[in-house]
Structure 1
């Protein structure tokens, strides 16, 4: 038995507790330190705040790890700086290496500035293949040598001779570019991502894989790392009609990034009214295909899920669920707790559909923090009215939709307290959540989003995840709280609405095993 004492434990089961005991991967006791049971190991929490570990409900581990260990372009503020950063990075690579980078965001550049061309990238990198995903990961800049390596791309939807590719053209070059990553590089990247997650108090993550965005080998390798001194990983496989394949791969659901549409950053999310530059984005699946996928999942006892961002895409999902419910029954659809990833432009009628069919909304509060507000990307692409209607977190919550928070890393960084703070300080005051509700969405909500399980014993464990109570899994994190606490939770936003100093993770424990401990002096 291990006793953790001299802390501040966040637990509805034992309000005011300063200590907890664990044994066999479970919490066995909570209470006052002086009443703690005898233990083999005693850990001094040094006044730290203890809460359930975070669950990041939407990640792309390999891509995140490659950004962490390689070329991160999220801070570049102009085309010239992007080109210089790429050139400097490429200079340190072998001559035949593919340059992989991520995170540039032209919506933050001076209006009218255009990204470097395919030929600019080739010249800056001495003729190398270059693949640079935009912040949304739904478009990319590529060099001329990479275009030449995929000759069929010129006839694909979304192709542009400039080298800024979207849609099917982007998917084609991404497959070739990511195919250059060796199994050894992939293992390093995946471990780097999971180690970073552990250092941020994340005890579990949902990997959103699929044949378009990653590969079967990528998902299998990542699941092999799950819980081995690292956060646990739960996989989703996003392939239409792929429920059997998802089960074969060890995924918990046939969804995640099963694309109904694209993203606002690339103007490929499917919307009912046109973007600023015209067009309504890309529709990859219709309601009939969505219904067939839900039926396939029902036949294999799997949870379905869909990437849907624009209002037209979300309407297709709700219509597809309705068509499936006409065959399976509404209660059967509700019981499966199917997921929608992102759900950014969702109105009252669509939310009513979510409630009717028991949909879990896997959302990213950091999207509003980065792209909401005056003059930012949502307003640029969609206009002020629709920008104000995007990411209605509080409305979803109060209407009864189960929320699970995630980062969509590498689209936004792994930053769970930042996500909670973004929900609390939403750009639209009426959509601001309480710290308590937002924290629950990023902890317990992530476990609820995994959907039902058939095994009775596992189901009982799953129902206890995400809260600290006797009999619950001993999965928690210990934090120092420089801004203090209020009503039992860390203070994230001050009285003026400004963000405070974020909590700092001191220790992360998964099922009784410490997977991260901050070094003294770090």
Structure 2
């Protein structure tokens, strides 16, 4: 492959390539392989960076472990922010009370988000910074806060973060993305997520040389002026129609199996959804919503039907709106969404973490769990898929996401390796409005967005006759992919390049 400036100019065999480009700087891959750079279509940069640079709760296995980890991490004068606890994986799912947490941290404001980031354990000192949370929906005097009470304490937590803390976190996030072969991310910001200043700082930092691209989204209705002020792609991302299954806040038609008095929470109805879609369509912005539960998806579909009556199908499909997560969708709904050219921005690692007969999905939903994250159904109906991590909910690990999409817990719901790889590369570019047909592939004329991957361990793994070898149609513009079987080491990134500019480089030291 030959690159001039920011563009791929030639792809072919080595001998002719050297003859056609005499004097070019040559990088001998020495067994490594090149593939299009990944796009992560749903991230939360500052929250991920705080997770990377701070306390990680994904490994705790009970209330005592959590309290001990928090007690050791408290620093006087600083709000303590940590993420990742998941009681559904604990032997004893009992959570520490607020009194237990206060005893561990004293007067320190503490915010400990659940793995799905839709509820949090908080200290009294943090509640005191948002006293209105005590009168909000989702308030608990002892347990985790959810719904509006959670949003209010999270806003107070964000206000307590210093500018230097934020920059360190965002820098850590962008560096980690580049280290994982990611050339572009979609930041899903909003008033209940991060704040306008946080988004502005991230966009400014990403504009510096040597950074992955950040496509900005803001999850708020009526914020057209804000979107234009910051050059955002749309008023989309985490504009909440409902919550999350783990926190019992995703909106369901029938009650939760393990919480039979609850059907979750719905924050927007069809009329509000339609009004937002119409506003964005007419403003030339992408609309989008966070939606997970089947009742939430039903409301979204109704909203799009109303929007179509207002603006017409041609305008609606031309706007290329999107939905985040879209976990409980049936074939009839998938067909309708495809007809409106709606993108499904989805996270395959959700199934890897919570799918299966013994997973959190089954605990929450019983037999309904098998129908979650139906990638194959959506793809078969023509829905464009764009894969991401929802980091810090799952890790910035695109090869793990591709593998999860292939090895879905429910037979028939997964994708081929080629389709999954496309969804994490070209699909992400298309979801952000890049529809030139070549971005995200390695062909002459395409932007030079690519990553070089260490294949040494993969060669050893592939020598095992039991390992499935992937092959692709050359017309797909997708390279032959590495083995993705469970237990096989995933590729390690050696270099990440966006528009011909190196973002991350470990190739020289690894060679």
Q: Same fold (TM over 0.5)?
A: yes
Distance 2:135 2:379 in 1: 44
| Corresponding residue number in structure 2 for 1:15 | none
- Verify the 8 A CA contact 2:331 2:381 in the aligned structure 1: no
Which one of 191, 194, 204 corresponds to residue 184 of structure 2? Answer: 204
Which one of 320, 323, 342 corresponds to residue 340 of structure 1? Answer: 323
Deviations 1:252-294 (A, max 9, x none): 1110010100001101011111112121111110000011101
- Verify the 8 A CA contact 2:335 2:382 in the aligned structure 1: no
Per the TM alignment, residue 323 of structure 1 is displaced from its structure 2 partner at its CA by: 0.5
Which one of 415, 422, 429 corresponds to residue 433 of structure 1? Answer: 415
- Verify the 8 A CA contact 1:203 1:475 in the aligned structure 2: yes
Distance 1:96 1:400 in 2: 53
| Corresponding residue number in structure 2 for 1:445 | 427
- Verify the 8 A CA contact 2:287 2:322 in the aligned structure 1: yes
Q: What are the within-5 Å matches in structure 2 for residues 284-323 of structure 1?
A: 284-323=267-306
| Corresponding residue number in structure 2 for 1:473 | 447
Deviations 1:391-424 (A, max 9, x none): 0011111221100000000000101000000011
Per the TM alignment, residue 349 of structure 1 is displaced from its structure 2 partner at its CA by: 2.2
Which one of 489, 502, 506 corresponds to residue 501 of structure 1? Answer: 489
Per the TM alignment, residue 521 of structure 1 is displaced from its structure 2 partner at its CA by: 5.2
Distance 1:401 1:441 in 2: 11
Which one of 3, 13, 36 corresponds to residue 52 of structure 1? Answer: 36
- Is structure 2 residue 79 aligned with structure 1 residue 98? yes
Distance 2:398 2:425 in 1: 10
| Corresponding residue number in structure 1 for 2:266 | 283
| Corresponding residue number in structure 2 for 1:456 | none
3-state SS of 2:452 partner: strand
3-state SS of 2:412 partner: helix
Flag the 1:521–1:46 CA change in 2: closer, same or farther, 3 A.
closer
Deviations 1:86-112 (A, max 9, x none): 11111xx1x22111000100110125x
In the alignment, structure 1 segments of 5+ residues that lack a partner are: 1-19, 453-458
| Corresponding residue number in structure 2 for 1:173 | 153
| Corresponding residue number in structure 1 for 2:480 | 489
Flag the 1:39–1:304 CA change in 2: closer, same or farther, 3 A.
farther
| Corresponding residue number in structure 2 for 1:188 | 168
Distance 2:225 2:78 in 1: 36
3-state SS of 1:132 partner: strand
Q: TM-score normalized by structure 2?
A: 0.93
Distance 1:218 1:149 in 2: 19
Q: TM-score normalized by structure 1?
A: 0.91
3-state SS of 1:265 partner: coil
- Verify the 8 A CA contact 1:122 1:129 in the aligned structure 2: no
Deviations 1:336-357 (A, max 9, x none): 1100000011112221221121
- Verify the 8 A CA contact 2:321 2:343 in the aligned structure 1: yes
Distance 1:489 1:247 in 2: 41
Q: What are the within-5 Å matches in structure 2 for residues 253-402 of structure 1?
A: 253-275=234-256, 276-277=258-259, 278-383=261-366, 385-402=367-384
Per the TM alignment, residue 295 of structure 1 is displaced from its structure 2 partner at its CA by: 1.1
3-state SS of 1:438 partner: helix
3-state SS of 1:431 partner: coil
Distance 2:224 2:332 in 1: 29
Distance 2:326 2:215 in 1: 21
